[in-house]
Amino acid sequence: MRSTPVSSRLPAPVSSAQFRLRLPDRTLDARGCHAALPSGGTATLEARVRAFFARQHDGPPLLVGLLPFDPDGDDAIYQPHSLETAAPDAATSAMPFTGVVQAEPGPVQYADAVRQALATLRDDASALKKVVLARTLRVRERTTIDARRLVARLDRDPEAMTYLCPLPVEAGAAPAWLVGASPELLVSRRGRQVLSHPLAGSARRRADPDEDAQAARGLLSSAKDQDEHRYVVESIVAALRPYCERIDAAAQPTLHATPTLWHLGTRIVASLRDPSTPVAALLAVLHPTPAVCGTPTALALQTIAALEPVQRGFYAGAVGWMDAQGDGDWYVAIRCARVQGREARIYAGAGIVADSDPAAEAAETGAKFGALLAALGVDAAVPIEQGDFR
């Protein structure tokens, strides 16, 4: 699946080009664009990064940016002008929402797409084991949506890695941003140590503590969710094995909580065989994982292209940084919105396996919209229209 071509032009080196990544131990705040990494797919990422640092001798020895969902699509990675230590914008309450929210597609149409995927998954002649199907909400406000204030409101979840990343746009178009709060570490590299913390399998949280605890127990005991999670962990371990030794992944997942969802998660720790292997090489073999795509990858990509009406772009890609030593942190770009002018497109997906229930998967995507809708000031009383703006 090839992304819709866009200009590879990255933000001009001005203060408005801000990349912000809140990590567990610090906040990376990068300003301006000093030089862009020539764009390409993940297969050429390691070579492009090595060539860039070999010839680039001024500016911070750091690259930041995004990988698209499509591993063959053009990434948007660049060297910032400077790194800042200023505190992030203070979180403010969202203004009352005065716009329109429209589903692309609505839950009924999404459930129909799930049924089509299930027909393939349940076909003994098909090799497809899992596919992740996404849908979107398109939000149109009466005034410009402030991406910086939006990410500041997402910062209220201390467990999530929040991010604000400028997007490439056509010449003359308004600036665009990917804004989100990801709970999922794709890969981190520090010297020889490699970490990954995939999440797959979800359940909506409940306001009542007893019901919430029951939802968590139900997720842990769910055979469907355990199967979905196992595909992801096995895929990551298999991808790391040629590069790593002493790969440690727990036999059973543990619960990971966000304000709106319970997830199954497994922490994977490994050691590089060759200490010179950079994080870019690991990204190329890991992305996209079954947590956002499915398995086997090529067949899942085909299914997504056939069933999803809105192209993903950088949703379900990866956001992060890498340096000249090969270290870096990259998170799965989920729980996010593409913000441009007065519009935002919010994305959410669910993993579909043979015993998935279409209505339950539609409800799961609805729950995953919650954090972004709340940050935009959209409450439950705002009607979500069905159809298409185009």
Residues with a catalytic annotation lie at: 130, 184
Closest CA to 119 of 295, 294, 303: 303
The answer to whether 128 and 304 are in contact (CB under 8 A) is no
CA dihedral 139→148→203→96, nearest 10 degrees, is -50
The answer to whether 145 and 152 are in contact (CB under 8 A) is no
State the residue for tokens 């203004």: 95
The answer to whether 333 and 66 are in contact (CB under 8 A) is yes
Integer Rg of the chain from CA: 20
C-alpha dist (Å) from residue 155 to 30, 91, 130, 164: 17, 7, 32, 11
State the residue for tokens 């178009």: 173
Give the Cα separation of 326 and 309 in Å (integer). Answer: 37
State whether the Cα torsion 326-5-310-181 is positive or negative. Answer: positive
The answer to whether 309 and 137 are in contact (CB under 8 A) is no
Give the Cα separation of 179 and 322 in Å (integer). Answer: 19
Contacts of 213 (CB under 8 A, 6+ apart): none
C-alpha dist (Å) from residue 135 to 83, 232, 294, 368: 35, 21, 16, 11
Beta bridge partners of residue 256, listed in sequence order: 263
Q: Which amino acid is at 27?
A: T
State the residue for tokens 């298999």: 238
State the residue for tokens 């909580």: 257
Share in percent of the chain as helix, strand, coil (round to 5): 25, 30, 40
C-alpha dist (Å) from residue 68 to 99, 124, 139: 28, 32, 22
